[in-house]
């Protein structure tokens, strides 16, 4: 009972943190869209695509590696005092990796802006963002430490500081002087993003040095080798997936222009989809993801003990609850997509996009939950493989289909990618458990069929088609 209370408490803490961060981020996206327009949001999302790719090089695998190394040290009484020494080496490794990623991003900012993004004016934004990669890498190390010592509140606090600092700097800057164009606005946002990484890193450092688990007398052996051994496989797969996702984001505006859209219309559509509609669709799942993260150790414990009936019970409840919640949210978004587009997004088109993508919510939510259960059963390699397959399919469709079909091709890409991922993940989970008896596949198939009918009806009212 005590353990269940702890799970519920931690889930509520993470859920509240997710709600605050996600909600604040969504409101911030609305603010930016009103200041810069949806085309400005689209340009910012393009810039972030390159930044996320570089951030992957700066952080991939570090948090997980630190968590495992710290947890291992704390679990053994005779090595408990090694934590501080481990952290010193991990922080040094993070600083080197972060500085290297930042230097590479700065050096290649010109070709990245002109060749990959097709917007030479964004070179200043990329150079500004390169300055924050080292702090992001250090923060990743601190986050791993807090999770390893069971101090999730420290990680949540640093994340909250980061998000609210970014929003405060942007709002103050835009209030003092409105940007003359979307490029200048993006430069201000990028500067705020770097400052937020710095403040978040400082906050995490203060919380770290005041933590009672930060002790060390002995000299841990082969820490860097262990760190690299854990981080390398995770990083390699993350690099591939993030690279494909970045390529997809870059190709979407290019494909829309080839299909007959103007450059401004392409950026506006891309910004509405990626910067407004998708964040809103995932916002109701904030608590769901929190409870899923807390349940992963339970699945791992049951799987290690070979208690499959327990996994079947947990999996059945989680999948059923997720599907019911997702369908409820889907119905709400379908029913109120027009008012949301008109009064919240101030864009009729954004409301239409929400209507078209809402039927995909059960698939998206289920995919996240199923992936979490598979990771708890030591199937993280399979999960990453499915994610890479999804990213590759989406890149192929964006590259081949989008220039020919335009907006319809973009919707097809989003649906196809998510459907392939959830089918592969569910198939793997059903092979390992008895969850297949729930006939979730049939329910998803019916939902996809209904979504096609909805799509055909609504596209008549969408001027992009």
Above 80 in pLDDT, residue 409? yes
Q: What is the structure's pLDDT at 76?
A: 60
More confident residue, 169 or 155: 169
- Mean pLDDT for the stretch of residues 363-384: 83
Number of separate helices (H) and strands (E) present in the chain? 19, 0
Average pLDDT, the chain: 81
**Model pLDDT for residues 12-56, shown as the tens digit of each residue:** 666 677 778 878 888 888 888 888 888 888 999 899 989 988 998
Contacts for 197-201 with beta carbons within 8 Å, 24 or more apart?
197/132, 197/135, 197/136, 197/139, 197/162, 198/132, 198/135, 199/161, 199/162, 199/165, 200/135, 200/139, 200/158, 200/159, 200/161, 200/162, 200/165, 201/135, 201/136, 201/138, 201/139, 201/142, 201/158
The answer to whether 67 and 147 are in contact (CB under 8 A) is yes
Scanning 340-439, the segments in alpha helix (DSSP H) are 348-357, 361-376, 380-400, 402-405, 407-432
Provide the residue ranges of all domains of the chain, joining segments of one domain with +. 23-220, 237-465
Of the candidate ranges 4-13, 30-39, 240-249, 449-458, the one whose mean pLDDT is the lowest: 449-458
Which residues have a Cβ under 8 Å from the Cβ of 412 and sit 6 or more positions away? 397, 401, 405
Q: What is the structure's pLDDT at 11?
A: 62
**Model pLDDT for residues 157-169, shown as the tens digit of each residue:** 787 888 888 889 8
Of the candidate ranges 75-79, 156-160, 198-202, 369-373, the one whose mean pLDDT is the lowest: 75-79
The answer to whether 138 and 91 are in contact (CB under 8 A) is yes
More confident residue, 171 or 229: 171
Half-sphere exposure (Cβ direction) of 111: Cα atoms closer than 13 Å: 4
Q: Token pair of 75, please? A: 């679990």
- Mean pLDDT for the stretch of residues 189-204: 91
- Mean pLDDT for the stretch of residues 213-233: 55
Tell me how far apart the alpha carbons of residues 407 and 418 are, in angstroms, rounded to a whole number. 17
Q: What is the structure's pLDDT at 189?
A: 93
Above 90 in pLDDT, residue 105? yes
**Model pLDDT for residues 284-322, shown as the tens digit of each residue:** 887 777 666 666 666 766 777 788 888 888 888 888 888
Q: Which of the four pLDDT bands, split at 50, 70 and 90, describes residue 246?
A: confident
Q: What is the structure's pLDDT at 297?
A: 60
More confident residue, 14 or 348: 348
Q: What is the structure's pLDDT at 121?
A: 92
Above 90 in pLDDT, residue 343? no
pTM of the model: 0.73
- Mean pLDDT for the stretch of residues 133-151: 84
Q: What is the structure's pLDDT at 287?
A: 72
The answer to whether 261 and 42 are in contact (CB under 8 A) is no
Describe the chain by its helix, strand, coil percentages, rounded to 5: 90, 0, 10
Q: Which of the four pLDDT bands, split at 50, 70 and 90, describes residue 372?
A: confident
Tell me how far apart the alpha carbons of residues 129 and 194 are, in angstroms, rounded to a whole number. 6
- Mean pLDDT for the stretch of residues 208-229: 59
Above 50 in pLDDT, residue 464? no
Above 60 in pLDDT, residue 446? no
Percent of the chain with pLDDT over 70: 79
The answer to whether 134 and 62 are in contact (CB under 8 A) is no
- Phi, psi (deg, nearest 5) at residue 457: -70, -45
DSSP state of 118: S
Q: Which of the four pLDDT bands, split at 50, 70 and 90, describes residue 138?
A: very high
């Amino acid at each position: 009972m005590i353990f269940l209370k702890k799970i519920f408490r931690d889930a509520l803490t993470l859920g509240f943190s997710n709600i605050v961060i996600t909600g604040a981020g969504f409101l911030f996206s609305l603010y930016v869209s009103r200041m810069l327009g949806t085309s400005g949001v689209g340009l910012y999302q393009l810039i972030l695509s390159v930044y996320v790719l570089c951030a992957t090089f700066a952080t991939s695998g570090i948090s997980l590696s630190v968590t495992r190394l710290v947890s291992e040290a704390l679990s053994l009484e005779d090595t408990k005092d090694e934590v501080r020494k481990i952290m010193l080496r991990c922080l040094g490794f993070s600083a080197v990796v972060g500085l290297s990623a930042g230097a590479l991003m700065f050096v290649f900012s010109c070709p990245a802006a002109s060749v990959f993004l097709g917007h030479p004016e964004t070179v200043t934004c990329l150079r500004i963002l390169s300055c924050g990669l080292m702090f992001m890498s250090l923060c990743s190390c601190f986050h791993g430490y807090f999770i390893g010592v069971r101090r999730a509140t420290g990680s949540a606090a640093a994340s909250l500081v980061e998000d609210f600092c970014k929003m405060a700097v942007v709002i103050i800057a835009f209030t003092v002087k409105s940007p003359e164009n979307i490029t200048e606005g993006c430069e201000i946002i990028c500067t705020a993003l770097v400052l937020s990484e710095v403040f978040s890193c400082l906050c995490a450092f203060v919380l770290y040095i005041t933590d009672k688990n930060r002790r060390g007398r002995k000299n841990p052996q082969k820490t860097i080798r262990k760190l690299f051994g854990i981080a390398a496989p995770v990083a390699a797969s993350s690099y591939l997936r993030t690279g494909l996702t970045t390529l997809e984001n870059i190709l979407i505006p290019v494909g829309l222009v080839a299909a007959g859209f103007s450059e401004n219309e392409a950026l506006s559509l891309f910004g509405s989809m990626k910067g407004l509609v998708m964040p809103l669709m995932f916002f109701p799942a904030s608590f769901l993801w929190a409870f899923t993260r807390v349940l992963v150790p339970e699945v791992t414990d049951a799987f290690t003990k070979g208690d499959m009936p327990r996994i079947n019970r947990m999996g059945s409840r989680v999948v059923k609850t997720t599907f019911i919640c997702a369908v409820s949210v889907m119905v709400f978004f379908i029913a109120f997509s027009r008012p949301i587009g008109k009064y919240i997004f101030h864009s009729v088109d954004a409301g239409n996009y929400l209507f078209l993508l809402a039927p995909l919510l059960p698939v998206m939510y289920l995919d996240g939950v199923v992936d979490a259960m598979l990771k708890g059963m030591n199937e993280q390699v399979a999960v990453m493989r499915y994610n890479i397959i999804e990213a590759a399919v989406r890149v192929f469709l964006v590259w081949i289909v989008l220039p020919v079909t335009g907006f319809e091709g973009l919707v097809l890409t989003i649906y196809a990618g998510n459907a392939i991922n959830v089918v592969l993940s569910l198939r793997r989970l059903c092979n390992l458990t008895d969850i297949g008896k729930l006939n979730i596949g049939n329910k998803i198939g019916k939902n996809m069929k209904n979504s096609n009918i909805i799509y055909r009806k609504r596209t008549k009212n969408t001027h992009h088609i």
